[in-house]
Amino acid sequence: MSLLRLANISKKYKLENGKERIVLNKISIVFPDHGLVAILGKSGSGKSTLLNMISLLDEPSNGCVYFKNKNINKLDLKDKEIYRNKNIGIVFQHYHLLENETVIFNIMLPLLIRGEKRKNAEFAAKNLLKTIDFKENLYNTKCKDLSGGEKERVAILRSLINNPEIILADEPTGALDSKNSNIVMELLKEISKERLVIVVSHNEELVHKFADSIIQIKDGKIEEQKQIENDTKLIAKIKTKKVAKQSHWIRSLSRSNFLRRIKRNVIAMASLFIGLTASLLIVGFSNGSTSSIRERTYKQIDYGVATISRETSQQIPGSKMTLVKMSKPSNDELLKSKNNLDAFHLEPNITSLVSKYPIIKSGDSKLEELSYNPIYSFIDESINKGLLLKGRMPDETLSEVLVNRKGYEYIKKDFKCEPLGLVLTVHNEYEHHSYLDSGQVITDYFVFDKEITIVGMVDDLSFLATPKLYYSYLTIKEYLKETLLVNLSSKENKEITWYQTLLDSDENDPISSYSYQLFLKDYRNNPQLDELINKVNEPLKIDSPSITVANALFDLITAATLGMELFLMIALVGTTLILGIISFSSYTEDKKTSAILTCLGANKKEIFSIYFYENLFICLISLISSFVLSPLLALLANFIIQSITGFMNMIFIPLLAFLIIIPSTLLICAGSTYLPLFFSKKISPKEELSEE
């Protein structure tokens, strides 16, 4: 059984004009099991093409190449990879070393691809280098810094390290001077003692000096074949064993590529870092903002204050507009909703008598921005006394009030004085008409004119808040019970109080403000306020300014989150595209390297993995940076948001977000690497290695 045999090999190429060019024409050769076989011929004679057939860089148009009686062209992809890695070693005309890698790495690369451990491969490479007395100080030198003769010897040792049965050398001395040419040929001669070495050359002098047999090719045919007797010493044969696949060489090349393209990769890392950090912050905002706003809106001293009214709507004939009429609920309607109103104090609405916006003065200066707002009492559980920031809670009297933070800042800034202890006057007037059965109209005037003192400041919802004063509803209620409608009382000859008038007012009387006042009995039920409001059936409707503000904030946050999520999707798609473009660019840039690795027996998956690991380095560095910096950025963002809006912990990144983003990042890494490479044009090792 012959080691290598060519049977009727022909090779034709189609030219651009449609004609065919015959490079090899029915070549048949039976090679010996060992020895140095030289193939001579002029440029274009077909000698390099012949070598390409044996190395599987090209396929014959006709005929077969047999290795140990197996047609290598009919091997499956995996067996072809094994053939390239184990059975043949190639010494290329232009060396085709990995120029940015060291001498040691280049020599041991075929062993690493085969699956050998790095330590064993390095030991074998050093033993080979010692055999040819290669300078030890060059072992860890990058190949781009070697001379031509040194590169050629490194290429020969690389072809030898896997102990192949065939060494193919294409013009190994073509770019060398006489001295280095002899060194290289001596080395090949030594190797040929136990292996078949096929050398393509045009240097007849060297060939006749070192070859055991010479095949002369001319115009694609064998012109002459002769034997030559020579004798030289033997180079040691390397013993190899079957080993499990290792991938450390892939990571090593990936790391080298990563550093070589560091500027480009920094851009990719920055892009991915922005995308990942934005993802975490947006998830944190979505997670934290809702609970933050909810908790913060509860911390309003008048959160449980609302009004209840009847609302009926009527379509305007011939128009798309609808009129909404508001009126005071009847006793029967309130009785039907009693169970849903048990959590509230139900009181007459005194807004008509004590306006929310009365005239408030400090001396002769008007405080036009301050509003005057009721809470039920300063002493029961309807308010959260823990919201007091400065001063004290008022006594249950008309003369003492609280101010919110916004009101405190307003007074201090605009009136240049300390608000606590400040005495103000509150003035409001209301004209009321009573219609008697006789048809007579009696007019009374309610004048509310009081001196009040600010005794404490309470925390409030700073964002969207307005300056407010808070008074006790119960104290106003007692005051109204004691204050008479003078003219009406005189006419009816009995005491008629303003409070009684409020109670007796009909549903459309303006004095009723067309509603009742509701005060939540226990501020600890604030979280249930929205639910309690929704339990009231139509046509009754509860209106809570605090709930309205909270809902407006939630709508704002929802809109902001949607915008952020859209940005996030664009950012992640953009990042994936950037990584994909960089991966494809790197793969295209390294086509020659990929071709070399293919010739050394690496498969497509392993070559793709080089670029996957390079992207993985980018992803891991970006991921770690994002994990470290995003909590710090969240703290900074929370500080800024709190200083502007008063909301605390608006961004809270949950642990789950970190756990989800890890596989997501790996998915981006894999997708951005493999998809563009999968759809890229298949690399032709023959074309890539013959472009120089």
pLDDT tens-digit series, residues 50-101: 998 999 988 999 999 999 999 999 999 889 888 988 999 999 888 899 999 9
pLDDT confidence of residue 229: 57
Torsion angle, CA of 325/326/329/334, rounded to 10 degrees? 100
User: What are the tens digits of pLDDT across the range 404-454?
Assistant: 999 999 999 998 899 999 999 999 999 999 998 888 999 999 999 999 999
pTM for the model stands at 0.71
pLDDT confidence of residue 643: 84
Rounded Cα distance, 62 and 7, in Å = 9
- Residue 246's pLDDT band, with cuts at 50, 70 and 90, is low
Rounded Cα distance, 177 and 166, in Å = 26
User: What are the tens digits of pLDDT across the range 158-207?
Assistant: 999 998 999 999 888 887 888 888 888 898 898 898 899 999 988 888 88
Give 57-114 as a 3 state SS string: CCCCCEEEEEECCEEHHHCCHHHHHHHHHHHEEEEECCECCCCCCEHHHHHHHHHHHH
Is 70 exceeded by the pLDDT of residue 243?
no
Lowest mean pLDDT among 246-255, 366-375, 420-429: 246-255
Is 70 exceeded by the pLDDT of residue 506?
yes
User: What are the tens digits of pLDDT across the range 552-610?
Assistant: 888 888 888 888 888 888 888 888 888 888 888 888 888 888 888 888 888 888 888 88
pLDDT confidence of residue 657: 86
- Residue 493's pLDDT band, with cuts at 50, 70 and 90, is very high
| Percentage of the chain modeled with pLDDT above 90 | 44
Rounded Cα distance, 469 and 369, in Å = 10
- Residue 239's pLDDT band, with cuts at 50, 70 and 90, is very low
| Percentage of the chain modeled with pLDDT above 70 | 96
More reliable by pLDDT, 292 or 165: 165
Report CA-CA distances (Å) from 208 to 173, 189, 202, 205, 213: 14, 12, 11, 5, 9
- Residue 245's pLDDT band, with cuts at 50, 70 and 90, is low
The predicted model gives 384-392 an average pLDDT of: 93
SS3 at position 27: strand
Torsion angle, CA of 175/176/178/184, rounded to 10 degrees? -120
User: What are the tens digits of pLDDT across the range 331-363?
Assistant: 888 888 888 888 899 999 999 999 999 999 998
Domain boundaries along the sequence of the chain = 4-245, 260-298+554-689, 305-543
How would CATH label the architecture of 4-245? 3-Layer(aba) Sandwich (3.40)
User: What are the tens digits of pLDDT across the range 637-650?
Assistant: 999 988 887 788 88
Give, as one character, the DSSP assignment of residue 142.
Answer: B
Residue 447 CA neighbour count, 13 Å, CB half: 4
